[in-house]
Amino acid sequence: MESSYETALELDLPRAMLERATSAGEWNLILPVVIALMAGALLAMIRHSRGSQVGFSVLAVLAIIAVELDLFFQVLELGPVAMTMGNWLPPFGISFVADTMSVSFALAASLVTLVVLIYFQAEIVPREVRHGFYPLVLLLLAGVTGAFLTGDLFNLYVWFEVMLIASFGLLIIGGRKMQLDAAIKYGFLNFLATTFFLVGLGYMYGLIGTLNMADIALVAGQADPAPMTAVAALFLLAFGMKAAAFPVNAWLPASYHTPDAAVSALFGGLLTKVGVYALLRIMVALMPASRELFDPLLTGIAVLTLILAPMGAIAQTNLRRAIGFLVIGGIGAVFAGISVPNVLGIAGAVFYAFHSMLTMSAFYLVAGLVERVTQATDTRHMGGVYAANSLISILFIVLVFAAAGLPPFLGFWPKMLIVEATISQQDWILMSAVLINSLLTSIAGSRLWAHIFWRPGRDGANSEVPNDHLRELNSTEKRMALSAVCVLVGFIVILGLLPNLLFNAANFSAMDLLNPQSYITSTGIETGTSLTGETQ
């Protein structure tokens, strides 16, 4: 190996490989994914022993959070860091790149996973544990983290599929009929979306001969714009489907309410945000010319998603289906940010996606608690929970305000950024859509609150008669589920009151996305290369 490398040097061939091994310190970039994958594999082996799996999976997620925190502060201080696999130089080796946006999303994802793992202790079903709940959760986290940290388009596709197959498993793990029905719709549509993504990246490789993201950012502008637009359209469709933006959102309200609440929370927090992340990374940072072309379309998607999604939530009687529509409404806000191409808009989109990961997971978890207390999934059969358990009602209303974007909760700050951005572009339609979304979301949320908590009885003539179907939370549910949700909601409230760190992170992310120079430099790719290979 060594001698062949020396021969290559003598022959004066262009450098394609690194001369030294990557130092151990730089491995923290790949560690989150490695830990999650290894832990997933180990958990699959010990999936029959129920007790050890809990501790082991929580330890693994804690280790991932520790590594990601280290990475987060490193990235905030030094800018993006990168690592290329197998000693190859980019674009030949597969790169992993961490910038502020990817690390903060990965951090939010593992925090949500930790809370969900603890919450699951309250609704644990031995059969589901035997069928591999814990390994699937860890593999889902591996897929999501890999998608956030990778710097290579084909690798992104592979992580999408890792995430997809793990989510299939989690979606049907209870084996209820409703879950099978939901999994058919979820499975087919998401599989189609990743196939579109695959077509797009195949075309892209044919056009510009590279799939390394930093390299694409360098050369995408020089490619023939017409076929590049087709590629961008395919990406927009694929990631729009993944993110559940308006015309292609049907799979989300059809599936997210069918599994256990813990699984719903994991999906609501993580899956759609990966689509959003890919849109931000690819449309904004890598193909800005094509994004500009799609601006009217992006604005249209944003306006329609913003307004129609909360209206869907108002029309629902099933609690978790209604929350599914609120998740989609948040995607509209992110699209609004993406369609305003300045630092404010992009920072708002990044910030909103981060907020939505935490808030929507917490929302599903609280919904799971409500379902446990009322023993119903339909809001018509709920009522009187305020008297029975006022803590849940406080958690719920805080999350409604956070999702609607009312101050001082976390959702307010990104919405403020997005509205400021639309004002700076004088895009009054988009601005009113964002504000109407807030209004409609708070209407939908407070309607749910009034039906579940405020009125004493269930729907119909006897809504004033106290609900006799309520039950107390047992001690496990209080100790595990309720406290886990309280911690998550407390985290959301504190972040909402002290948003400075997130503001900074969102600003850094937006600047890195709009001017990917530091991202490109971090990978060590030669700047100044062009499609024809002549250095400029």
Partner 1 sequence: MTEMLMAPFIGMFFASAVYLILSKSVIRMLLGITILGNGVNLLIFTMGRVTREIPPIVPAGLKQPVGDIANPLPQALILTAIVIGFALFTFLLVLGYRAYQELDADNTDNMRLAEPANPPQPPLNY
CB 131 within 8 A of CB 174: no
Min dist. Cβ of residue 425 to partner 1 (A): 36
Min dist. Cβ of residue 517 to partner 1 (A): 20
- Name which of 206 and 407 has its Cβ closer to partner 1: 206
CA distance 108 to 76: 16
- Name which of 180 and 498 has its Cβ closer to partner 1: 180
- Name which of 204 and 357 has its Cβ closer to partner 1: 204
Number of H helices, E strands in the chain: 24, 2
Contacts of 386 (CB under 8 A, 6+ apart): 393, 453, 454
Please, which residues bridge with residue 82 across strands? 97
Binding positions for partner 1, rule: CB under 8 A = 13-14, 91-92, 154, 157-158, 161, 164-165, 168, 172, 177-178, 180-185, 187-188, 191-192, 195, 198-199, 202-203, 205-206, 209-210, 215, 253-255, 257-258, 314-317, 378-380, 450-451, 454-455, 459, 463, 529, 533-535
- Name which of 199 and 416 has its Cβ closer to partner 1: 199
The CA angle 494-497-500, to the nearest 5 degrees, is: 100
Min dist. Cβ of residue 128 to partner 1 (A): 16
Q: One-letter amino acid identity for 322? A: A
- Name which of 173 and 485 has its Cβ closer to partner 1: 173
- Name which of 9 and 59 has its Cβ closer to partner 1: 9
Three-state SS for 316-379 is CCEHHHHHHHHHHHHHHHHHHHHCCCCHHHHHHHHHHHHHHHHHHHHHHHHHHHHHHHHCCCEH
- Name which of 143 and 337 has its Cβ closer to partner 1: 143
- Name which of 124 and 207 has its Cβ closer to partner 1: 207
The three-class DSSP label of residue 244 is coil
Helix locations, 247-342, DSSP H: 251-255, 261-279, 288-293, 295-315, 319-338
Min dist. Cβ of residue 473 to partner 1 (A): 25
Min dist. Cβ of residue 165 to partner 1 (A): 6
Min dist. Cβ of residue 140 to partner 1 (A): 15
Min dist. Cβ of residue 349 to partner 1 (A): 29
- Cα 156 to Cα 14, 97, 144, 150, 159, distances in angstroms: 28, 12, 10, 6, 5
Contacts of 533 (CB under 8 A, 6+ apart): none
Contacts of 429 (CB under 8 A, 6+ apart): 299, 303
CB 123 within 8 A of CB 372: yes
Min dist. Cβ of residue 130 to partner 1 (A): 18
Min dist. Cβ of residue 408 to partner 1 (A): 27
- Name which of 141 and 254 has its Cβ closer to partner 1: 254
CA distance 170 to 266: 10
Contacts of 53 (CB under 8 A, 6+ apart): 43, 46, 47, 129, 134
- Name which of 53 and 210 has its Cβ closer to partner 1: 210
Q: How many residues does the chain have?
A: 536
Classify residue 475 by burial, with Cβ atoms within 10 Å: 0-12, 13-18, 19+. Answer: exposed
CA distance 207 to 229: 11
- Name which of 141 and 164 has its Cβ closer to partner 1: 164
Min dist. Cβ of residue 385 to partner 1 (A): 14
- Can you give the C-alpha Rg of the chain in angstroms? 23
Min dist. Cβ of residue 443 to partner 1 (A): 12
Min dist. Cβ of residue 463 to partner 1 (A): 8
CA distance 53 to 34: 18
- Name which of 91 and 405 has its Cβ closer to partner 1: 91
